[in-house]
Structure 1
Amino acid sequence: MKSLKVICIALGIILFSCKDKTPKSNPALATIDLKRGDILLCGNPEFGDVSFALDCEYDVRETFDLAISLLHSFEYDEAEKAFVKVIDADPECAMAYWGVAMSIYHELWAPPGPTELNKGSVLLEIAESLPKSERAELYINAISVFYDDWKNKDHKTRELLYEKKMEQIYKTQTDDTEAAIFYSLAITSAADPNDKTYVNQKKAGTILQKLFKEQPNHPGIAHYIIHTYDYPEIAKSALNTARRYAEIAPASAHAQHMPSHIFTRLGLWQESIDTNINSASSAVCYAESLNANANWAQEIHAMDYLVYAYLQQGNNKEVEVQNAYLKSMKKIFPLNHFAVAYTANAIPARIALENKQWKKAANLERPNMEFDWDKYPWAKSILHFSRALGSARSGDISSAEKELETLQFLHKELLEIKNAQAKYKAGQVRIEIKITEAWINLAKGNNEEALALMRMASKLESETSKHPVTPGEVLPADELLGDMLLILNKPEEALKAYEMNLKGHPNRFNGIYGAAIAEKQLGNSEKATSYFKQLIELSKNANSTRPELDEAKNFINVTSI
């Protein structure tokens, strides 16, 4: 276990300049719940190279730069504490208030709620009243549009307004690296999740890739390149950066985890496993410093990617270790977090469905941890989708139809929320509904209707990007389409479905196995052997007991005689 470091110097002990400056705090700060205390990091306290202090006393600039580094690695709580240390030492540093407002914005993560939005608004009002340089004023004005009138403007509208403001800074402050970095993140954050041409992502990536050549040790540049290219079609562009980022910010659990987004997109399972083990270890260390009786959301997020990678190696032994550990968790912090809601439902669902344990999937139960599940309809839908598919594949049509009704209710609930994120999540539940309807119809013997619905689900999924929090769909629709086509004795069409699936989900265990079976049924022994060898190679270090591997070895032995 990595030892906890309490970072002093610029993090905990603020040294004052020779002049006698007595901090005079703004009374409005007393109305805000600001995070204070030592900055808690595990292991090597490095966060890369950043130089961005604006309008602050000289003696607090090192702390300010650390706060920016923490912000760039999404270590939001620690970033806020660092910015607050600057405020406490130099209450007239307007950019420190900007920093706290940025720390509670959470771009690419769950949007801030009313309490956080009100907090940001008050902080920015204070910042606007303080003397500041023209450059600082630009940054403060930019984030202010995100908080202005938040009660009447939806998140997406305010997000786009912020992006436009950052674009203006980027275009006018051509020598400002941080402007380019924050603008690139704003571009990616504001991207349409249904845009499969990735216009925003490619635009942001062009800016960031150029900057990374000039500043290869900057945490924000490396981090945002990974997020920008976190899609199967463009992930290769971020591979070198992914392998570098964990070295830049070794003290960040999120930085240790982030490379696995690209490794997952490219099917590099062992690299994903290694980096998520490091991330989870760092997250445990951090949690122990705050609450020894609870688990940090970042650890659970890393577990989702870890289990996904183990499953693709056929390593059920390690998968069950992680699942048992997940079941032992009772208290999580932050108390309610989307990544936790998603992962807690996805891990047991993936295990049952990937192993084709249909009765186990049909009987999955809600995770036993303290959590407000009703806030997360999409995460809840994963449980009911797994039950529905497991029931349909087990021949229990009545139970499958009951689960379908729940999915339809959750879909309606998401549509009624009427914001961009809820619309996206409703789209994901709609895909689950179509898949469920397809397999219920197959169980009833309505083969043509089943295929039509499964093709529709596949099409819908192909038109929608992966959510940034997930390693991938619980089961890809193309893969399920291939499974259905094999059942209906259509191996040629099944092979096309599996091949399409493997383009977007390389090195998936079940995708490779399905392609092998399709080739086998088509009488293409050489190609079937090639796929079976890929499957064996994929699992060579896993000590796997998956029956598909025995089938692969037997086929190769027989055909080699």
Structure 2
Amino acid sequence: MLTRRRSAGASVLLGVVCWLVALPAPAQNATLGTINFPNSGAPAAQPFFIEGVKFLHSFEWEDAADRFRKAQQADPGFALAYWGEALSYTGGHHYPMQQDISSARKALVKLAATRADRLAKAPTERERGYLNAVELLYGEGDGQERAQRYASAMGMLSERFPDDDEAATLHALALMRTARRGQESTRVDLQAGAIALRVFRRNGNHPGAVHYIVHAFDEPTRAIVGLEAADVYAYLAPDAPHALHMPSHIYVQLGQWDKLSGANERSYAASARRSEQKQLRAIEGEAFHAMFWLHYAYLMQGNFAKADEALALAGRHAKNLDAGSNRSGQYDTMVARHTIETARWRVVDVAPILAEIKTAPDRLRPGVVGSTLLANALSAGRLGNAAAAEVAAGGLRDLEASMKARKAAETKQVEIMVLEADGMALLAGGDRNAAVKKLEQAAATEESMNPPSGPPGEQDDDPPIKPAHELLGEVLLEIGRPADAAKQFAIGLDRMPNRPRLLLGAARAAVKVSDQATAQLRYRQLLNLPGGGPDRPGLDEAKAFAVSPSTPAGR
């Protein structure tokens, strides 16, 4: 938790919001959507309890716990107030859950010392069902076993009380938490999504329904199913920064860059405002998370001036001593992404990174270090500096070796970056065939991974910041293999719709192979890019093609 300081100096935080959007200050009672949760608590406890449940649904854990503790103070015998506080100590939307089991069990012990005594405090069968489920969540067994037992208990509760939207939506979330996101979770995601959609049809302002729909359909081929709920959630809970951000997971899968930037502008502003209200030394994590996504949105829109501003602001936040290493790492990833997406190629001194890979690899965040080295390799390759590209590629190879020696859980992202850097070094050195082979390996490895759930490279199990199919397609196009390039751009667009460089590459490849229909489609998509800015790659080229499609465009 961030350190707090009671001083007027904290007011400086609000100044960083001014360049984004001016939003009204929240009312005293949070605006978080609408739920109906009948319970046996005293009237004085009701506002706190209902607000706590709403905060739970929007993953605002600290605020939820605070409200449930206030409900306990208003009605010390109110069993569900302790249930809610305990539940606030489990986070995440898929397995493995983020849990503070010790704090959760302490919250339950406040109600009564034993499970039997706690259950006896719940006056109705339905409330005992909620309490029993949370007892299983924090009971015996490993995380997977407890997740399964909790999901089963919530399923039985929902079946017993089919009109209870809270039981239904919490069952949906519990199902997703039994599996790791990706192919393993497809079945439970669809089950959870179906449950949440039923609640959404009954109550279009239910914060849990819209939130869990977004997580259930956070995948390129399914995201369209979650779009209506995402659009509702984008404005449903203006007091919850995480809720304001969450629609991003649908927008990024559909390439709706205007909505993506808007969601994260609002989330950042709300979170920075809350940091001020709490008098924190540094902005809270949700604000930096929103800034990370916002920077990506601006790059995808082709609005480099705004991306420059977002990067500069993130840099100021990252330098705050109270920000922590995680935010510094996110900033370094943003810098690398900025170099690649703007094509402002620059070779930087990576000697300190290379030395640390050799001497203290366990202290490094592989995805962050790898992104920095990849940006250097791509820059060097594009500038024709084969030696510098090879230095960066060598560092990535050492990083991969150190990860495998330590038996790191996730290595594919770095493996792909090694192949991409090797390919660019070979290309800069004139060995086109060897370069293509490396890049083909990178694309094949990336295709075995799930598409990213956000900006590429954000998570350790994401593909890297430069999509492999995009890079391979660009190189194939450059060396005179447009038909092969077209296939790579098509795969890339299936995985990451509306990425401007994929659209441009697909259009150029189509022109080269005389595929007029595809060229018109891709150039038109680039011209009509949601929120499209002046720096979209190939913008003038696309405009020229729209005027005279018979004239070959591009390289």
The one-letter code sitting in structure 2 at the alignment partner of 1:455 is E
The one-letter code sitting in structure 1 at the alignment partner of 2:375 is S
Tell whether the 8 Å contact from 1:304 to 1:346 is kept in structure 2 after alignment.
Answer: no
Secondary structure class of the residue paired with 1:198: helix
Aligned counterparts of 2:352 and 2:290: Cα–Cα separation in 1: 22
Pick the aligned partner of 1:7 from 11, 28, 32: 28
What is residue 11 of structure 2 aligned with on the other side?
Answer: none
The one-letter code sitting in structure 2 at the alignment partner of 1:509 is P
What is residue 9 of structure 2 aligned with on the other side?
Answer: none
1:78 CA displacement? 1.0
- How has the CA–CA distance of structure 1 residues 6 and 412 changed in structure 2, closer, same or farther, with 3 Å as cutoff? farther
Aligned counterparts of 1:147 and 1:434: Cα–Cα separation in 2: 44
What is residue 15 of structure 2 aligned with on the other side?
Answer: none
1:264 paired to 2:264 = no
Q: CA RMSD in A?
A: 3.3
1:478 paired to 2:469 = yes
With the length of structure 2 as denominator, give the TM-score of the two structures.
0.81
Pick the aligned partner of 2:273 from 274, 285, 292: 285
1:162 paired to 2:150 = yes
Aligned counterparts of 2:192 and 2:325: Cα–Cα separation in 1: 27
Question: Which range moved further: 433-442 or 260-269?
Answer: 433-442
Tell whether the 8 Å contact from 1:180 to 1:207 is kept in structure 2 after alignment.
Answer: yes
1:387 paired to 2:376 = yes
The one-letter code sitting in structure 1 at the alignment partner of 2:28 is I
Question: Which range moved further: 446-455 or 320-329?
Answer: 446-455
What is residue 17 of structure 1 aligned with on the other side?
Answer: none
Instruction: Report percent identity of matched pairs.
Output: 28
1:459 CA displacement? 2.9
1:217 paired to 2:224 = no
What is residue 317 of structure 1 aligned with on the other side?
Answer: 305
Deviations 1:438-484 (A, max 9, x none): 43444455544543443333233233224546467522222122123
Aligned counterparts of 1:205 and 1:414: Cα–Cα separation in 2: 38
What is residue 407 of structure 1 aligned with on the other side?
Answer: 399
Pick the aligned partner of 2:164 from 156, 165, 176: 176
Pick the aligned partner of 1:64 from 17, 34, 49: 49
Q: How does 1:441-452 map to 2 (within 5 A)?
A: 441-444=426-429, 447-452=432-437
Deviations 1:332-373 (A, max 9, x none): 7996696x466423322221112233425786999xxxxxx9
- How has the CA–CA distance of structure 1 residues 334 and 68 changed in structure 2, closer, same or farther, with 3 Å as cutoff? farther
Aligned counterparts of 1:341 and 1:60: Cα–Cα separation in 2: 41
The one-letter code sitting in structure 2 at the alignment partner of 1:295 is I
Aligned counterparts of 1:337 and 1:112: Cα–Cα separation in 2: 22
1:54 CA displacement? 3.6
Q: How does 1:294-333 map to 2 (within 5 A)?
A: 294-330=282-318
1:132 paired to 2:153 = no
Tell whether the 8 Å contact from 1:249 to 1:255 is kept in structure 2 after alignment.
Answer: yes
1:87 CA displacement? 1.9
Aligned counterparts of 1:222 and 1:337: Cα–Cα separation in 2: 33
Secondary structure class of the residue paired with 2:183: coil
Aligned counterparts of 1:272 and 1:318: Cα–Cα separation in 2: 14
Aligned counterparts of 2:377 and 2:495: Cα–Cα separation in 1: 25
Tell whether the 8 Å contact from 1:385 to 1:436 is kept in structure 2 after alignment.
Answer: yes
Secondary structure class of the residue paired with 1:478: helix
Aligned counterparts of 1:455 and 1:485: Cα–Cα separation in 2: 10
Tell whether the 8 Å contact from 1:117 to 1:147 is kept in structure 2 after alignment.
Answer: yes
- How has the CA–CA distance of structure 1 residues 383 and 138 changed in structure 2, closer, same or farther, with 3 Å as cutoff? farther
1:502 paired to 2:493 = yes
Pick the aligned partner of 2:344 from 320, 345, 357: 357
Aligned counterparts of 1:108 and 1:337: Cα–Cα separation in 2: 24
Secondary structure class of the residue paired with 2:411: helix
1:83 CA displacement? 0.8
The one-letter code sitting in structure 1 at the alignment partner of 2:103 is K
1:379 CA displacement? 4.3
Pick the aligned partner of 1:537 from 528, 532, 535: 528
Number of positions where the alignment pairs a residue of Structure 1 with one of Structure 2: 506
Aligned counterparts of 2:108 and 2:405: Cα–Cα separation in 1: 34
Aligned counterparts of 1:337 and 1:48: Cα–Cα separation in 2: 34
What is residue 195 of structure 2 aligned with on the other side?
Answer: 207
The one-letter code sitting in structure 2 at the alignment partner of 1:276 is N
The one-letter code sitting in structure 2 at the alignment partner of 1:349 is A
What is residue 74 of structure 1 aligned with on the other side?
Answer: 59
- Listed as ranges, the gaps of 5+ residues in structure 1 are 9-44, 367-372, 417-422
- Listed as ranges, the gaps of 5+ residues in structure 2 are 1-21, 354-361, 458-462
- How has the CA–CA distance of structure 1 residues 525 and 215 changed in structure 2, closer, same or farther, with 3 Å as cutoff? closer
Secondary structure class of the residue paired with 2:179: coil
1:199 CA displacement? 1.6
Aligned counterparts of 1:332 and 1:186: Cα–Cα separation in 2: 37
With the length of structure 1 as denominator, give the TM-score of the two structures.
0.80
Secondary structure class of the residue paired with 1:295: coil
Aligned counterparts of 1:95 and 1:413: Cα–Cα separation in 2: 48
Aligned counterparts of 1:330 and 1:286: Cα–Cα separation in 2: 18
Aligned counterparts of 1:184 and 1:334: Cα–Cα separation in 2: 36
- How has the CA–CA distance of structure 1 residues 101 and 430 changed in structure 2, closer, same or farther, with 3 Å as cutoff? farther
Tell whether the 8 Å contact from 2:251 to 2:257 is kept in structure 1 after alignment.
Answer: yes
Aligned counterparts of 2:318 and 2:531: Cα–Cα separation in 1: 35
The one-letter code sitting in structure 2 at the alignment partner of 1:226 is V
Deviations 1:229-271 (A, max 9, x none): 1110100001111111133222222222222221211111112
- How has the CA–CA distance of structure 1 residues 375 and 222 changed in structure 2, closer, same or farther, with 3 Å as cutoff? farther
Secondary structure class of the residue paired with 1:538: coil
Tell whether the 8 Å contact from 1:397 to 1:440 is kept in structure 2 after alignment.
Answer: yes
1:345 paired to 2:335 = no
- How has the CA–CA distance of structure 1 residues 451 and 200 changed in structure 2, closer, same or farther, with 3 Å as cutoff? farther
Tell whether the 8 Å contact from 1:361 to 1:390 is kept in structure 2 after alignment.
Answer: no
Question: Which range moved further: 287-296 or 508-517?
Answer: 287-296
1:273 paired to 2:273 = no
The one-letter code sitting in structure 1 at the alignment partner of 2:215 is H
What is residue 13 of structure 2 aligned with on the other side?
Answer: none
